[in-house]
Each structure stands twice: as structure tokens, then as C-alpha cells.
Amino acid sequence: MLNLSALLPPVIALMCLAFLFNAVLRRFHASKFEQSVFGVLFGVIVILGMTNPLSLGEGLIFDTRTPMIASAVVFVGPVAGVVAVSFGLVCRVIIGGAGVAPGVLGLFLAFGIALGWTRFIGPKVKNPILNDALLGVALTASVVAFFVLPYQMAMQLITDVTPTLMAANVLSMVAIGLVFRRELRFVEENKELTIHAETDALTNLLNRRGLNAAIGMRRHDAQAGHALLYFDVDNFKHVNDSYGHGAGDAALAILAARIKDSIREDALFSRHGGDEFSIYAPQLGACDVQSFADRVRTAISDQAMTYDSVSFDVSISIGAFWTTTEMPIDEMIEKADAQLMLAKQAGKNRAQIAYDAPRHVTAFA
């Protein structure tokens, strides 16, 4: 017999998980910890449901373990499902009672049904809501776990609980699917907007906003020191005037690609606007700054650029500042820019470097 009063609370509770999904997705989406963290989240919800079940009358209880296990597998991955099942197993054994055996078997059946669904059936059902609903129906097959009990008792339980369990599974899976996909879409859209807001469209480098955000996430290592290289294209106006603005844009894009290939992965390369760029190099020793700057410079000057079948030479002048002190990026840029002016005055196509105290200020032509 279908117990409608038992269906509403689980669905409302599942819908209230939206803020938890959002918080976890924002912090761990696409990271190596995503499946483990979601597995813990679903596992905790499984435990809460098992320790606070809804009564269906006549000694029967209902909780949301089955759709939660399935959701962990289908919406996150098998690792999340394994973690959630582990939580459920420990809880069910601790609870004890005559229902331990069917309860444990039911957890494994839910995991197996969900895993099989994601691999064989789910990809063939294109409508996501229909997919979730059909999975909810399939999950009801976990009632066969009752057959570890005496036959007459198992048949009675299956007869009494199956209609409510199927309805609850269908509604729960649809509700979780709607909430999870909505939050995932929201997080991905926000991440995409953030990327656009922090990325230069021409070169795909960080812009100034992106540089500030990226540096804010770094931890300064005073033992190694860090450096800021600030540079621009020598005689960039001549490139635009002689070959057109298309050639100028191409030169900037080529410059960005060449330098990106020549620097370490932990360096933060950004375009500040026009032909002005910077590279923040963490964990860089004072003795390595000159060679690093020269490598960046020669990556541009040693090879001509080509645009629309026309080749032309491009060079850059670099100003750099190195210190072991943690300081605002604006201050490092200001000090590096002062060195850039000296490099321009000294003849261009060179790197001028200042070292913070206690090394005193030193310049290299």
C-alpha cells in the first residue's frame, strides 16, 4: 500500500541539500578530492537517514539510503559511492537487530544497480529527468534483500513496502538530480564568468585582476625569494604603423605563446594592457633572476615573427625586482617598472634588475 505521507519529508530534506551541494562543488569541483568529499557528504546523509528513519506503520521503516548511494555513484562517481556505502555499512552494523543482513545486502545492491545503470542503461536515456526516474524504479529491485529473511516474512515486507519505496526512490532521484544539476550548472557558469573576467582575450593570459587573485592564493616562501618581471615591446608603435594593427595583435599573441613555453609552470604570466606584460616568479633565487630574465628576452628576440607572409623582428625590454620580503604586488610592479625605464634608456632589448636589501640594489645591463 502506498504511504503518501512518508514521501514528502524525504523529498523536502533532499531539496534542502542544495546549499551543501553548492558549497562542496565550489570548493572541490574538478579536483582530485571531489569524489572523496562527496562520498563523505552522501555517507553522512545516509547515516542521518538510517538513524532517523520514517515509520511506515506496522514496524516498517523507511530511509533515504538507497537513492543517496545511487546519487553518489551516478552524479559523482564510483569512488564517492564506495565511500558512501562504507559509511552506511558501519552505521547499519552498529544499529544491529534482525535487519542487519538485508540492510547490508540492500546497500550493496543499491551500489551495484547504480553502477550498472551508469555504464549500460543511463547513457541511452537522453532526458535527464526520465533517466533519474527510471533509475529510481530500478533501485526498487533492492527489495530482494528481504529474501535473506524467512520467506513468508520477506514476501509480506515486499508486498507492504514496494509501492512506497518505488515512489520514494523515483521522487528522491528526480529531486536530487534537479538540485545537483542546477548547482553544477551554477558553479560551472560562475567559474566560466570568473575565467573570462580574469583572462586577457587576445593572449589567454591572466589580466591584472587575474594576477592579483592568483597571487593572493600563493604562500610566500621567504627562504627562496621571489621576483617580478615587468616588460613591454620595444618600438611597438612602429610595428603597428608599419604592418598594421593586425600584425601588432599577432605579435602580442606570438610573444605570449613563446614566453609561456619558456617559463616554469608555477610562474604567473599576465598582460596588463597594450604591450605591457609581467611575470611573477615564486621561489626564485637571486642568482637565477638574470638568467631567467634573459631566457624570457631571447625567446622573443632570437626569432622573427611572421604575419600575413611578412616577417619582422621584435624585441622586449625587461625590468625586474627580486626580494625575499613579502610585499604587495603593486609595489613590486612599481619597482620593476623603474628598472624597465633604465633598460629602455640603456638601449632596449635588455634586462635591468634590482635586488632588495640586504643585497643592496644592483643593476645588470
Per-residue pLDDT averaged across 74-101, rounded? 93
Asked if 73 and 102 touch (Cβ cutoff 8 Å), the reply is no
Residue type at 342? L
Asked if 239 and 314 touch (Cβ cutoff 8 Å), the reply is yes
Whether the predicted model's global pTM rises above the 0.75 cut: no
Strands 226-233 and 316-323: antiparallel
pLDDT at 357: 66
Mean of the per-residue pLDDT values of the chain: 89
Q: Which residues contact 264 (CB under 8 A, 6 or more apart)?
A: 281
pLDDT at 362: 44
pLDDT digits (tens, 9 = 90+) for 21-70: 888 888 898 889 999 999 999 998 888 888 877 654 444 456 778 999 99
Q: How far apart are CA 77 and CA 257, in angstroms?
A: 36
Per-residue pLDDT averaged across 106-113, rounded? 96
Q: Which residues contact 152 (CB under 8 A, 6 or more apart)?
A: none
pLDDT digits (tens, 9 = 90+) for 284-303: 999 999 999 999 999 999 99
pLDDT digits (tens, 9 = 90+) for 191-233: 899 889 999 999 999 999 999 999 988 888 878 899 999 999 9
User: What band does 363 get if pLDDT is binned at 50, 70 and 90?
Assistant: very low
Q: How far apart are CA 352 and CA 364, in angstroms?
A: 5
pLDDT at 332: 97
CATH code for the domain defined by 208-355: 3.30.70.270
pLDDT at 33: 93
Give alpha helix (H) positions in the chain. Answer: 8-15, 18-28, 34-51, 65-71, 78-95, 100-116, 128-139, 151-197, 208-216, 236-243, 245-262, 289-301, 329-345
Where exactly are the structural domains of the chain?
Answer: 4-197, 208-355
Residue 267 DSSP label: S
pLDDT at 59: 45
Q: How far apart are CA 66 and CA 194, in angstroms?
A: 37
Number of Cβ atoms within 10 Å of the Cβ of 198: 17
Q: How far apart are CA 245 and CA 249, in angstroms?
A: 6
pLDDT at 30: 84
Place of cell 592579483: 212
Per-residue pLDDT averaged across 100-119, rounded? 94
Q: How far apart are CA 107 and CA 98, in angstroms?
A: 16
CATH code for the domain defined by 4-197: 1.10.1760
Q: What grid cell was written down for 250?
A: 599577432
pLDDT at 337: 97
Per-residue pLDDT averaged across 95-107, rounded? 88
User: What band does 359 get if pLDDT is binned at 50, 70 and 90?
Assistant: very low
| Number of alpha carbons in the 13 Å side-chain half-sphere of residue 36 | 3
